[in-house]
Structures are given as structure tokens and as C-alpha cells.
Amino acid sequence: MNVLRRLLPLAALLVVPSIAVAQMDAKKSFDSLKTLAGSWEGRITTQPPQPEVQGKPVEIQLRVTSMGNALMHDARVGDRPDNPITMLYLDGDRLMLTHYCDAGNRPRMVARSSDGKTVEFEFLDVAGSTEYGHMHHAVFTFIDADHHTEDWTFMVGENHVQAHFDLHRVK
């Protein structure tokens, strides 16, 4: 019991800094993502190839909203009538993403890694039916102030489709 009493303060010293680092990393990643605010265009490539979107033009609008507390990602692919909306936001010490999918569900992802050049989101959970699939993974990669890429993974059962967006800022 005496050993446990001596170790508890040490354990607290180790946990508190890791929480502070997580909060700082999430905020730093969110602030980096907010620099993408603006209009973007480019092309989509998919693996395996999806004929309905492969090579189509992409328009993405990113807008900082809610007094700087959210980043809205609005994507249009070709002449498709849908435009999935994705919201990125801080939730305590986590950077979160909620994707309002044209498959009729709302997957949530949490940023798991960021190296200053990329922010990677991993699947957390999904609300709504996954009968038609769901978004499962996303990576934003910063190239320079006027170029970035996005990689999105869509799951249908055990099968996945990787969508790559190569984007440049519209001036």
C-alpha cells in the first residue's frame, strides 16, 4: 500500500502532460486545417476505379464557421446532384470530423496523427444505416498554401474504395 501511495503522484504527473500535449496537438492540427478556408478545385481518382466519378472535376468549399469553432467542408464531384458536407471541430482534447454522407449516415472520425504536413482521421462510430456503405478514413495533406490533397476511404461491407482529390486553390 505504501508503494501505491508513492506511485500515484508520479502517475498523475505522467498523465497530465500527455493530456496537455493531446489538446495542443488537436488545436494545432485544427488551426492548420482552418488555413484551407476558401475555394478549391481539382480532379478525383479512385481505386478501384469508379466510372461514375473517376477523373471528374471536384469543387470543394472550406469555410470557418461558428465563431472559429468549426470548419465546414462542402464537396461537389462532377455533375452529381449531391454534395456531402463534413464538419471538423474540436471536442475537448480531440479533433473530430463528422461526415454527412450521401449514403444517408453520419460517420465520425477522430484525428489520430498529425506530422505538421498531414492530418489523418480514423473511424470512431457511425449514426444511421451502413447498408449503402460509409466513410471510414480521411487524410488531409498540405503541399503548399495553394495545393493540398485529400484521401477518403469509403467502406461497403469489407470492401473499400479509396478516393484521392488533388486540389489547387481557386484565386
Buried residues in 7-22 as b, exposed as e (16+ CB within 10 A): eeeeeeeeeeeeeeee
Does pLDDT of 171 surpass 60?
Answer: yes
What separation in angstroms does the CA of 82 have from each of 74, 94, 110, 124, 142?
10, 29, 24, 24, 26
Q: Give 3-34 pLDDT, tens digit per residue.
A: 545 554 544 545 443 443 354 589 999 999 99
Q: Looking at residue 22, what is its pLDDT? A: 53
- In sequence order, the 6+-apart residues with CB closer than 8 A to the CB of 116 are 32
For residue 87, give the amino acid letter.
Answer: M
Q: Looking at residue 115, what is its pLDDT? A: 85
Q: Looking at residue 5, what is its pLDDT? A: 54
Kindly state the average pLDDT of the residues 133-158. 96
How many Å separate Cα 63 from the centre of its chain? 14
Q: Looking at residue 23, what is its pLDDT? A: 47
| Angstrom distance (rounded) from CA 11 to CA 66 | 37
Q: Give 35-79 pLDDT, tens digit per residue.
A: 999 999 999 999 999 998 999 999 999 999 999 999 999 999 988
What separation in angstroms does the CA of 62 have from each of 71, 73, 77, 85, 118?
7, 5, 15, 10, 17
Q: Looking at residue 2, what is its pLDDT? A: 59
Kindly state the average pLDDT of the residues 113-138. 93
| Angstrom distance (rounded) from CA 28 to CA 138 | 18
Q: Give 86-120 pLDDT, tens digit per residue.
A: 999 999 999 999 999 989 999 999 999 888 899 99
The structural domains of the chain, ordered by start, are 2-169 (2.40.128.20)
* The model's pTM: 0.85
| Angstrom distance (rounded) from CA 106 to CA 134 | 8
Beta-carbon count within 10 A of 75 CB = 23
